Structure 1
């Protein structure tokens, strides 16, 4: 397996991404030739070796030849440029996915229709080159998976077309919703909307851990000369994963200790959490100060649903505070089948590991229903199901 890993310890921008991927092995002449397929004039790529704080890497700059004649485009104009090009379908699809993420964020920030978004940053030639270039480079590398570390957003303020804004810029903040981020390492905008959108669109998994051997390390050089090296580090990982049947995803655990709530209300909260999409929710008996018996309410959720989970806990419990921490979920590959027995049909969940069927679990609700209808015990229904499976 071949994996591209983004180590965004100092953030990411469109030009840093191009520099890093060229440094990793993308042929610069190939990238320039592919960008020519856009059939737009007025820019060219300037690529050179550079360094920040003693770290050597590649700097990629999109040079605008006539800045005074630069056009501001809407989404439909960008889509026309990409769709009318002779780029591959994969490159077109990925580039437009990135553009659309930024357009959706800008539309939401300004409360306007997506097609009315005036691309101050993204419709410009340099951003078109950065985004289409990213799609070209990722297609060139032919990796099986793209993984990223949490994204460093930076701090302080940033000057954009809408004035001076706190970091992250409004569009960036919307693009990274639900993704693991860090802030405050530097007092400037470390991640731009373009950089954030490239990751949001192209990354398959976010994790701080590298589990496969690193075969190559590369750096994309940014424009700043800050105390923290303004570089984007990327790794090329190669090797075999422990099992192709195990999926690893980012998740969030929320916890709250509660000692003053009517126990009859917990069932309602748990049902609300599950209905809202919680992966799991559970209660743990604990002893708090002054030997008071209490309960820890725990919720396991995907990152994008965290805000909804917090709202449910605060609204329907007596909790005054919630702890939050990120975890990784390792999940076996699974499928659901239907097993027919003489008394009806029961759904069965099956899980696999290293290509081998590991477990089969009859759906409890189905077994209960058939047991009730036919005057049998749940155990008898389950035995029929498992006998049928073995047969």
Structure 2
């Protein structure tokens, strides 16, 4: 499963989010083709590969056509916006488009979140006002575009670190506003999004669009989880001059522990087991998934017969010894277990490295394995199934053809 980790060390905005996705490999032409399904006009898109503070990344911008310029400055974003669309109009544009149901639902959720905040700040009902943030063409592109990017990159989960904003005040259409801007402060209410401010930056770093997206899409906050492997790092630049690197860093991660690079041929592993005779299949599947997410290297069950002839399951997992306490706690919290067995084992393993290989069928992760002079390769079955479906060939045939390609190249 692909995950996106956001490191908002210099805040977050809509264009920074999209710049990050482009730096992580989002195809610009494919993106524009999907965005055209919205059916709105009055703008052009620019994508610039550039360097700031000696760091390479991408700057994404929405440039409004002349007839849409000069109406209102977005509260907090510092851009020029077209004022004239309310929430109902925006949701109608999105829901009437040919975009996927996932994109429609996620984008509308973000707009509703921002709209509620703006309505509270201005003491209006949602249907009584036009929102500078919601009614802006570039905000529509940023919000809808971000979810288009997630779908095209096949990102299933977003994790975010602490959002960092500036301080002081900022001048907008309504006058001088404090930082964080009112809409952002309103969205912070009853929110678990971690947030802090930099006293050395006297301007806004977190825009309502950026905060709204993060709040609605992110279910996990903190550092990069132990079970994720960072495969690619990208930077999306902001347009403000803050006196330091103004960028959002994103990490494209893979949840497959088997994709970790391994250089040794022997290590130690801990086997943890517990017997369960009063757990449903659904509950068992859920706890197995949690154990994998918490860093277990493998999890499986074995059918057993316990005392009094009761059928039961033996839940087993392998993990690094350092993960033992954390995983045992999961077993006690998520199952009816009142005791576990642990056994420290020596393990022989193959050295392993993983590369993404481009083939005529599509990109695929290839594991290169070696032990004591012997070597072989391995392919991820889920990726083979996906590519086989796209290329309309049998999985077995595709495996053979990719293996042949790898052996000859």
TM-score (norm 1): 0.62
What is the match of residue 195 of structure 1?
210
Distance 1:161 1:244 in 2: 49
- Give the match's secondary structure for 1:31: helix
Distance 1:37 1:2 in 2: 25
- Give the match's secondary structure for 2:97: coil
What is the match of residue 136 of structure 1?
148
In angstroms, what is the RMSD of aligned CA positions? 2.6
2:290 counterpart of 1:245:
yes
Distance 2:293 2:93 in 1: 37
Distance 1:71 1:130 in 2: 16
1:92 Cα deviation after fit: 0.5
User: Deviation digits for residues 117-173 of structure 1, max 9, x if unmatched?
Assistant: 311122111111111111111122222321000100111212233221110001011
- Give the match's secondary structure for 2:170: strand
2:334 to 348, 351, 355: 351
2:163 counterpart of 1:180:
no
What is the match of residue 126 of structure 1?
138
Distance 1:358 1:35 in 2: 50
2:126 counterpart of 1:114:
yes
Distance 1:231 1:23 in 2: 12
- Give the match's secondary structure for 1:245: helix
Q: Alpha carbons of 1:116 and 1:92: their partners in 2 closer, same or farther (altered >3 Å)?
A: same
Matches within 5 A, 1:209-288: 209-211=224-226, 212-240=228-256, 244-246=289-291
Distance 1:247 1:180 in 2: 25
1:110 Cα deviation after fit: 1.5
Matches within 5 A, 1:44-63: 44-63=44-63
1:52 Cα deviation after fit: 1.8
Matches within 5 A, 1:77-156: 77-156=89-168
Distance 1:75 1:174 in 2: 18
Gaps of at least 5 residues in structure 1 are 250-328, 335-348, 361-391
Distance 2:328 2:114 in 1: 32
2:38 counterpart of 1:34:
no
- Give the match's secondary structure for 1:214: strand
Distance 1:117 1:330 in 2: 51
Verify the 8 A CA contact 1:152 1:190 in the aligned structure 2. Answer: yes
1:112 Cα deviation after fit: 1.4
1:330 Cα deviation after fit: 8.8
1:174 Cα deviation after fit: 1.6
What is the match of residue 308 of structure 1?
none
User: Which stretch has the larger CA shift, 134-143 or 205-214?
Assistant: 205-214
- Give the match's secondary structure for 1:3: strand
1:332 Cα deviation after fit: 6.5
Gaps of at least 5 residues in structure 2 are 72-81, 259-287, 295-325, 340-409
Verify the 8 A CA contact 2:83 2:132 in the aligned structure 1. Answer: no
Distance 1:158 1:332 in 2: 47
- Give the match's secondary structure for 1:358: coil
Residue correspondences, number: 263
2:175 to 128, 140, 163: 163
- Give the match's secondary structure for 1:164: strand
User: Which stretch has the larger CA shift, 211-220 or 179-188?
Assistant: 179-188
Q: Alpha carbons of 1:108 and 1:26: their partners in 2 closer, same or farther (altered >3 Å)?
A: same
Distance 2:109 2:328 in 1: 28
What is the match of residue 385 of structure 1?
none
Verify the 8 A CA contact 1:333 1:351 in the aligned structure 2. Answer: yes
Distance 1:189 1:333 in 2: 40
What is the match of residue 7 of structure 2?
7
Distance 1:351 1:121 in 2: 42
